[in-house]
Amino acid sequence: MTYCLNKTSPISQTQSRLLQLLGKVLPCITRPVVLRWSTTQVLGVTEQLDAGVRYLDLRIAHMHDGSEKNLHFVHMVYTTALVEDTLTEISEWLESHPREVVILACRDFEGMTDGLHEYLVACIRNIFGDMLCPRGEVPTLNQMWSCGQQVILSYEEDSVVNRHVELWPGIPYWWGDQVKPQELIRYLESMKSCGRPDGLFVAGINLTENLAYVLGHPTESLRKMTLPSLPYLRAWVREQCPGPGAQCTNIIAGDFIGADTFVGDVIRLNEKLLRC
């Protein structure tokens, strides 16, 4: 959801006090820099779905001093898009694509009270209805098609998941937290050597800046840092094998998915299953 970050919104309350202070004192300098390093996608949510994306990482927040029931997405700063509107947009896309299945991973939940969690779950139920796949064993596509189910929705808050059978527990995410693509691939290979988790999990080919890198490259952005590394990261993606094996991958997530052949590379991995 970082394609619609709002440069007029305050910096997230989870960021350092120094960054929040700079955002208030020097907003014309601080916020453009923060936006450049927070933006990880340029396609809207419908455009991402049209491009073949089937896993969406949704970080949800209630802004301090925001409207009572308005929930936003957040990635250092808050989005212009509201959560309820975006979920409705996804639902409408699914209605026109009845054979497609998406995995929605809701997490972070900055500023969320128990009441807001229950409000969000009520919105999810109201918007998706029978499209929601109840938690249990990970179903096959045929099983979901036969029931008219199109959404697996994971919710990274155990106390809420336990109360609602429509919600799945949080999906493990292999996040390397690396600037260099070689170090990221080394991390992912290390995680593979430990054996895959049960059920769904995500291997993220996301590069992540650190303070030293930002200070050394003040005019750059996450996009400029990421794009030159995509051919190297795509080569790793093409080498992966799907399936239940100990070193097989499951979901693969990336940034700036409209900039290259990432989606096609992931989809073609399924051809390896057909050859088994």
DSSP per position, the chain: -GGGB-TTSPBPTTS-HHHHHHHHHSHHHHHHHHHHHH----S-HHHHHHHT--EEEEEEE--TT--TT--EEEESEEEEEEHHHHHHHHHHHHHT-TT--EEEEEEEEET--HHHHHHHHHHHHHHHGGGBPPSSSPPPHHHHHHHT--EEEEES-HHHHTT-TTEEPPPPEE----SSHHHHHHHHHHHHHT-PPSS--EEE------HHHHHH-TT--HHHHHGGGHHHHHHHHHH--BSSSTT-B-EEE-S-GGGSSHHHHHHHTHHHHHH-
pLDDT score for 252: 97
Which residues are CB-contacts of 230 (< 8 A; sequence separation ≥ 6)?
256, 259, 260, 262
Confidence of residue 25 (pLDDT cuts 50, 70, 90): low
pLDDT for 35 beyond 90: no
Query: How far apart are alpha carbons 235 and 249 in whole angstroms?
Result: 14
| Cβ atoms of 126 and 83 closer than 8 Å | no
- CA-nearest of 22, 89, 21 to 58 is 89
Confidence of residue 210 (pLDDT cuts 50, 70, 90): confident
Q: What is the mean pLDDT of residues 245-252?
A: 94
Confidence of residue 276 (pLDDT cuts 50, 70, 90): low
**Model confidence pLDDT, tens digit, residues 137-173:** 999 999 999 999 999 999 999 999 999 999 999 999 9
Could you tell me which residues are beta bridge partners of residue 107?
Answer: 59
Q: Greatest CA span in the chain, whole angstroms?
A: 60
pLDDT for 17 beyond 90: no
pLDDT for 22 beyond 70: no
- The residue type at 18: L
Q: What is the mean pLDDT of residues 20-24?
A: 66
Q: What is the pTM of this model?
A: 0.93
Confidence of residue 20 (pLDDT cuts 50, 70, 90): low
Around 53, how many Cα atoms within 13 Å sit in the side-chain half-sphere?
24
- CA-nearest of 206, 267, 205 to 242 is 267
pLDDT score for 214: 85
pLDDT for 204 beyond 80: yes
Q: What is the mean pLDDT of residues 186-209?
A: 95
pLDDT for 208 beyond 90: yes
Among 12-21, 166-175, 216-225, the range scoring the smallest mean pLDDT is: 12-21
Please state which CATH number belongs to domain 44-171. 3.20.20.190
pLDDT for 19 beyond 70: no
Domain ranges in the chain are 44-171, 172-276
Mean residue pLDDT of the chain comes to: 92
Q: What is the mean pLDDT of residues 229-253?
A: 95
